[in-house]
Amino acid sequence: MELSEAIQKRKSIRKFREKAIPREEIQELIDAACQAPSGKNLQPWHFTVLTGSPKQELVEVMLEAVGKLEKKGIPTGSCRGTARAMAQAPVVILVFNTRGNPLNPPRGSDRYLWSVNIQSIGAAIQNMLLAATERGLGSLWICDTFYADPEIRDWLGRKDELVAAVALGYPDEAPQARPRKSCENVTRWLEEG
Ligand SMILES: Cc1cc2nc3c(=O)[nH]c(=O)nc-3n(C[C@H](O)[C@H](O)[C@H](O)COP(=O)(O)O)c2cc1C
């Protein structure tokens, strides 16, 4: 598949078939992620791959946290729907910023360094998504994990920053493309002459 085709074909998938993804293929997706550029080549990413019962446990950790927030009247948006997609997906990969410290959020000029690392991780995730599309896999980029941020970190015993999750599996839906803003409207050209 041409890269341009993968870019066009990639869509968020929230329904997955039960079929497992071979381990080598998951590894190839992580290899693609690790080829992303990163500020100062810091490669600030870490991937925790969950399948089977550890993945179901992750979903339970998330749902428990969401339940607590809801009891306090705090809205949790699309989190339950996202958790359903994670439960169905055969693989969920949690993505961490190894340079991020959730107990000491960036202030002042540290914010720029933090942004550099998050951008690098975003590039890695997009590589993973495109590599998945190329292999006929569906993917979902997830940030609803933020609703259970401390709970997930505690559960895994990680002290760095949880950035996102990616759910992966063979698609069981073919959603319509979501609309995009016209590129013309989000671009300004400053040219000579
Ligand atoms: C940073 C980021 C976080 C996202 N978080 C979630 C999420 O938690 N749950 C979800 O269902 N979709 C999530 N999405 C998917 C977006 O809703 C989706 O990309 C957008 O609606 C455009 O649709 P498309 O991916 O099919 O083109 C996220 C996407 C990005 C890039």
Look at residue 193 and tell me whether its pLDDT is greater than 90.
no
Closest CA to 141 of 178, 179, 102, 95: 95
From the CA of 143, how far away is ligand 1's center (Å)?
Answer: 8
In DSSP notation, 85-103 reads HHHHSSEEEEEEETT--TT
pLDDT above 90: residue 95: yes
The Cα 129–Cα 28 span in angstroms is 11
In percent, the amount of the chain with pLDDT more than 90 equals 99
Q: Please tell me the predicted confidence (pLDDT) of residue 83.
A: 98
Nearest CA to ligand 1 atom 29: 141
Ligand 1 contact via 144 beta carbon (within 6 Å): yes
pTM: 0.98
Mean pLDDT of the 97-120 span: 97
Q: How crowded is residue 115: how many other Cβ atoms within 10 Å of its Cβ?
A: 12
Q: Is the pLDDT of residue 58 over 90?
A: yes
> If you average pLDDT over every residue of the chain, what do you get?
98
Across the range 6-16, mean pLDDT stands at 98
Query: What number does the ligand 1 atom closest to the CA of 175 have?
Result: 26
134 lines ligand 1 (CB under 6 A): no
Report percent pLDDT > 70 for the chain: 100
* Ligand 1 touching residue 126 (CB < 6 A): no
Q: Measured between alpha carbons, how far is residue 118 from residues 114, 121, 136, 179 in Å? A: 6, 5, 27, 25
Question: Does 140 contact ligand 1 (Cβ within 6 A)?
Answer: yes
The DSSP code sequence of 103-159 is TS---TTHHHHHHHHHHHHHHHHHHHHHHHHHTT-EEEEE-GGGGGHHHHHHHHT--
Mean pLDDT on 26-52? 98
What is the tens place of the pLDDT at every residue in 133-173? 999 999 999 999 999 999 999 999 999 999 999 999 999 99
Alpha carbon of 85 to ligand 1 centroid (Å): 12
Domain range annotation of the chain: 28-172
CATH of domain 28-172: 3.40.109.10
The predicted structure's pLDDT at residue 187: 98
What's the gap in Å between 27 CA and the centre of ligand 1? Answer: 23
